[in-house]
Structure formats: C-alpha cells, structure tokens
Structure 1
Amino acid sequence: METEVNEFRAELKAPLDAAVAQLAELDMARIRKLLSRSPIAAIQLMFECCVYLLGSSDVSMRAVRQATHDANFCVRLGQLDVTALTDEHVAFLTHRLDQIKMSVEHMYRVSDIGGTLLSYLQQSVRFWKRHREDLCPRYERVQRLKENNTQQSLELGLKQREARQLLSLIHI
C-alpha cells in the first residue's frame, strides 16, 4: 500500500518536476533584462508571487528586482517545498494567478520566461491541493495500517507466548 501511495505521489508530482526543470533553465540575465523594462501586469504578478513564495512580505517591483539579483533566484524557487506552503500562501497565489487571465500557452507566446513562471506557479498550487486532498489522507491511512499491524503483531506474539506456556503446563 505504501508503494502505491509513493507511486501516486510521483505521478502527481511529475508536472511540477517538469516545471521545476524548466525553471532551472531560465537565464537570470534575460530575467533581469525583462524586469528592467516595465513588464506587463501579468508578468509582474507572477514575479510578485515568486518573491512572496521565497518569504518576502514586500512584493513590490523594487523587491522583485532586488530578489532577482540573486543568481540563485530560480534555483531557490525550484527547491521550495511546495507541501510546506500554508493556506495563506496558496490563497495569495490563487488570488494573484486568477488576475492573470492567461493560459500558460498564451503566456509562452508573450514571454517564455512568463510562461515558465506561470506553469511553475500553477503546478505548485495544483500539487499542493492534490497533496492536501489526496495524498495526506492516503499517507495517514498507510500509517494507521502500519500501527494496527504493529499492534496486532505484538498481540499475536503475546498470545503465542501464552499458548506455549499453556502447552508446557499440559505436558508436565
């Protein structure tokens, strides 16, 4: 059962892993160049989401530009443990992503950087929700089954020992 849950998790996480791989390929010089101009609102919103995910409460364009001066910006974003996001994080992301009103495909036509970020952010939210709704209950069930199995094994061991003691009394 645990193997099945782990396989299910890997299946659910595959789109997020693909988005993380694309994120790792982004060129920071191109990102900085994109941000040096006034990016369209959708791209600005995505960068604000990224900065927020990395722990900043300031999501202004100044904060975004400052955060992207870190050469490891995309690496840090890709290493983020999506399952550790809070309800507040996901509500913030969902609200901002709802404002974008573009599909990933359309965003890729506007900007490959924007398309990659939008894909990553959407996959992060999807995985978080599926993890919370589907995986956590499955992991909890597996844990309960393991605990029940351990308890039953202990009880069986005690009963076997009692049975051996009774048999030894009968043979006396």
Structure 2
Amino acid sequence: MTGIASLAIALALPPTASADPASWNGEYAITFIVGPKGGTSMAAGQPEQQHTEIYGFQSSCASGKCTATITSGPPPSNPTVPQPVQFTWDGSSWTQASDFQWQCMMPDATIQWNPAHAEVRYTPQADGTLAGRMHTEISSGACQGTVDMNMTAERA
C-alpha cells in the first residue's frame, strides 16, 4: 500500500448529516481512491485500488472550537502518521493537516521514506454524504511532488 492510502485511512473521517454540521459522531464508511489520483509526484501515477473502511469518531465543541477525533477503525499501515487523528470544523468543512513520512514505492518494489505534509478536507453534501479530498506535498526524495486523492464518506 502506498503512502496515500495509508495516510488517507488514518485521516479520513466525516461529520454527520444533521442540523448541527459541527457534530461528527458515529460510524462512517470511508471510500478511498474515488476516481484517479492526480498530482506531480510519480506516486500519483502508481495504481491503487479503491477500497472502503469503517471508522468511528466522536466530536466535541468548547470555547467556539469544534473537533472530531477518530475513536475506532483500522490502524494506519504507515507508522509515521501522527495519532490520534483529529479534525477541526472551519465553518464549512472538517479539516486536518499532518506531517509524516511518505511510503514511496520504488520500481523494484522497495520503499523509500520521503518527508510529506498532507491536508485533508471533508465537506458535507446535501444528500448527507461528505466529499473528501487529500492534498499531499512530498518535499524530497524519489516521490517528490504532489498527490491528490478524492474520498467519500457515508453513514455506516
């Protein structure tokens, strides 16, 4: 599994479709690699299978700030992804940013670890699902460049 899928698994959690969009509680099915990946990194062109995982999360709001934390689901396959994963409500989307080491798959199937920064955004849709996008900037190494991946989330 490349760095994109392992980080996205760790980062992907959507809010509930309710009157209070800053409430994000329960279990959601997150589908990764919705459509082709994009970007300038060689990793953007490497094949990955679309897959779905179930994640649970819990939110809280205090002092005007709402956060949602992953509380259950499969662990990330990339051990450098910071834990726990926590999203912040920005008024229109749940957002999360992290620094980690990208698992860069080399042509000989070995892994090269490259420093990376990812930003994830889940935006509630009218049908109650969430549209997700992860933008990763890999700052050096064989996979240097950007990788963009779309995701979706719906109540499990």
Class of the TM-score when normalised by the shorter of the 2 chains: under 0.3
What is the TM-score of this pair, normalised by structure 1?
0.23
What is the TM-score of this pair, normalised by structure 2?
0.24
More helix by share: 1
More strand by share: 2
